Amino acid sequence: MCGIIGYTGEESALPLLLGGLERLEYRGYDSAGVALIEGKKLIVEKRVGKIRELVRSLWGKPYSGKTGIGHTRWATHGAPSLKNAHPHTDSRNEFAVVHNGIIENFLEIREELKREGIRFRSETDTEVIAHLIARSYRGDLLSAVLETVERLKGAFAFAVITVHEPGRIVGVKQGSPLVVGIGEGENFLASDIPAILPYTRKVITLSDGEVVDITPEGVNIYDFYGNPITKEIMIVPWDIVSAERGGFKHFMLKEIHEQPKAVGDTVRGLISSGEILPFSLKDFRRVILIACGTSYHACLVGKFWMEKLVGVPVEVVYASEFRYADIPVSDKDLVIGVSQSGETIDTKFAMNMAKEKGATTVALVNVVGSSIDREADHSVYTHAGPEIGVAATKTFTAQLAALYYLSLRENPDRETLIGDLMQVPSLIETVLEKAEEVERIAEKFLKKKNFLYLGRYLNYPIALEGALKLKEISYIHAEGYPAGEMKHGPIALIDENMPVVVIAPQDRVYEKTLSNIEEVRTRKGTVVSVGFEGDERLRKLSSDLMEIPHVPEDITPFLTVVPLQLLAYFIASKLGLDVDQPRNLAKTVTVE
Ligand code: AGP
């Protein structure tokens, strides 16, 4: 998954492109590059590594071109290297392309072009786009692009400029995200909104099958057949401050502390939107929740709530598994795709597959206008605002809020349950006030090489989520496991070197979980627990207790996850790791 940006207007394009790329860096950072129209020449500058390598190398260069495109890469085809870095150009260096996605039929196109004498400079799929456009060009960039997209298969968002038409950028959206920023005498193109927020809040979100033709004077949108399309301009409510770090050391820490607001805004958004779905969950024989990563863990919690509060059977399936299993899906099923980005390709394809099988589909997303949002039959939105840290935090608790609301909306105790939900933001605040205690615990364990996270019932998905948070930002191996399953194998791992984190609020499985803690202790395991304030029984069994307020059982997941987010954050931060952009990861996984 990569980030692309484009600018054409009256200003020098380079600083705007670099600023935008810095805000896109969480989408991938193996290499970065820009292409500029400098007079009659096409200038391409690219570097391996993070954006700052590119910025440093361009410092003081006399580029003043007013049209350009930029790219930050997360390698899919071809290793991270200079030759594979974008932008890619045609053989005569007259066209430059930046691309996010995968051209699935690029090999056949590559062979065809090679037979015509084209010599490729990279291993990427993207390079074929530049050569196809150059081959089709007969004086009009838009026509050449329309001819080119007829040949492409897969998921792609790309932008192209040419020396023949300074001031013009053409962009294409199919499967990967692309938005247009509308300025005064200038216009922008980007993979997502934070990249262009400092310059404009007027945004058009492109849909699959659309092409945008941009000049400083205007923006025109067409379908792949060249038919003009009218699109609505959205005024983005976010301001750039909310997308910046706001005084925190990392975006992730800021976003952990934004959770009261993310949950509160989500609940208010759901309540104020009236009837969020035109049907009852009970109208279906089954609900299937589909997601990846942290969103999958939110679904595991949602399953317990839906089955308890609605009484409908719920299945939770990894999107990447759903697509290849023979799960019998029909019009009797409701399929809910949960995705903060709304662009995760596995979730997107799984949802489309469910729809083709006749299911009613609902997108539960944080980004309005995202692919999964637009392609589902119905949508429910979280209102967490932009999440920049690769590790999902506030979007997770916002997803919990939406899933809980979906579960309670038809329950006879709806008003009481909404009352409980409305308390969650202040309860999270209470947990956040104990962050220093968690930081102290992190200090004790940051040298450990393996962690086990245990929980039963509602606490099991939180154990999975706590383990994922730790491993994805600290690179320490951590495994989440059902506490009741430990005696079926993992207990063999327990020794004094393996900290065991146990989530044990006083709920229906509390006593059984205490027994599991005893099992760990008798094998010299060290227990770090998450439990209710003042729980002396738990404290006596634990080397450290991270406390949450006493709340009804169903509300515990909103709170038990917070100390685990903080624990992972402090360990990774104290290890001096790149918390917001962990190695090998990207914020949105738009590759399969
Ligand atoms: C979570 O911290 C990770 N960033 C990752 O597992 C993420 O949750 C997953 O890729 C799903 O993303 P989505 O919610 O945007 O679909």
Q: Which residues pair with 529 in a beta bridge?
A: 502, 545
By CB neighbour count within 10 A (0-12 exposed, 13-18 middle, 19+ buried), where does 7 fall?
buried
d(CA 75, CA 584) in angstroms, rounded, equals 9
CB 76 near ligand 1, within 6 Å:
no
Is 587 annotated in the active site? yes
Q: Which residues of the chain have pLDDT under 70?
A: 1, 26-29, 74-80, 238-246
Cis peptide before 482, with omega less than 30 degrees from 0?
A: no
Per-residue model confidence (pLDDT) at position 370: 78
Measured in Å, residue 496 CA sits from the centre of ligand 1 at 32
Task: Compute the distance from residue 356 Cα to the ligand 1 centre, in Å.
Answer: 25
Say how far apart CA 155 and CA 157 lie, in whole Å: 7
Q: Where are the alpha helices (DSSP H) in 49-120?
A: 51-58, 106-115
Contact 76, 17 (CB under 8 A): no
Q: What is the pLDDT of residues 487-520, one digit of tens each?
A: 999 999 999 999 999 999 999 999 999 999 999 9
Beta carbon of 560 within 6 Å of any ligand 1 atom = no
CA distances 4 to 70, 86, 584, Å, are 6, 9, 19
pLDDT score at 368 = 74
Q: Give the closest residue to 557 by CA, choosing from 428, 386, 389.
A: 428
pLDDT for res 165: 97
Amino acid at 220: N
Catalytic residue among 348, 394, 471, 587: 587
Distance CA 165, CA 137 (A): 11
What local confidence, expressed as pLDDT, does residue 244 receive?
63
What is the secondary structure of 388-441 as a DSSP string? -SSS--HHHHHHHHHHHHHHHTTSTTHHHHHHHHHHHHHHHHHHHTTHHHHHHH
pTM of the model: 0.71
Supply the residue whose CA is at minimum distance from atom 10 of ligand 1: 293
Closest C-alpha residue for ligand 1 atom 7: 293
Average pLDDT, the chain: 93
| Residue 49 CA: distances (Å) to CA of 30, 53, 123, 390 | 5, 6, 18, 17
Distance 178 CA to ligand 1 centre (A): 19
**Residue at 527: amino acid letter:** V
Looking at ligand 1, which residue's alpha carbon is closest to its atom 16? 339
| Nearest in space to 549 (alpha carbons), one of 429, 438, 437, 467 | 429
- CA dist 186 and 195 (Å) reads 15
- Where does 116-174 have alpha helices with state H? 127-136, 141-149
350 within ligand 1 shell (Cβ under 6 A): no
Sign of the Cα pseudo-torsion (564, 565, 566, 567, in order) = positive
* Percent of the chain residues past pLDDT 70, beyond the cut: 96
Instruction: Give the integer Cα–Cα distance in Å for 93 and 101.
Output: 23
Ligand 1 atom 13: the closest Cα is on which residue?
A: 339
Residue 582 CA to ligand 1 center (angstroms) comes to 13
Identify the residue whose tokens are 């590759």.
591
589 lines ligand 1 (CB under 6 A): yes
Q: Is 507 in the pocket of ligand 1 (CB under 6 A)?
A: no
The single residue listed with the structure tokens 């499967």 is: 175
DSSP code at position 468: H
Query: How far apart, in whole angstroms, are the C-alpha atoms of residue 215 and residue 183?
Result: 11
Question: From the centroid of its chain, how far is CA 71?
Answer: 18
**Ligand 1 centroid, distance to 487 Cα (angstroms):** 30
Query: Would you give the DSSP letter of residue 9?
Result: S
Sequence-separated (6 or more) residues with CB below 8 Å from residue 261: 385, 394, 425
Residue 225's contacts (CB-CB under 8 Å, 6 or more residues apart) are 146
**What tokens does 327 get?**
């799960």
Q: Which residue has the tokens 């190695």?
A: 583
Tell me, using a 6 A CB cutoff, whether residue 344 lines ligand 1.
yes
Sketch out the chain's domains with CATH numbers: 3-241 (3.60.20.10), 245-422 (3.40.50.10490), 433-592 (3.40.50.10490)
Question: 270: part of which helix (H) or strand (E)?
Answer: helix 259-272
Q: Is 535 in the pocket of ligand 1 (CB under 6 A)?
A: no
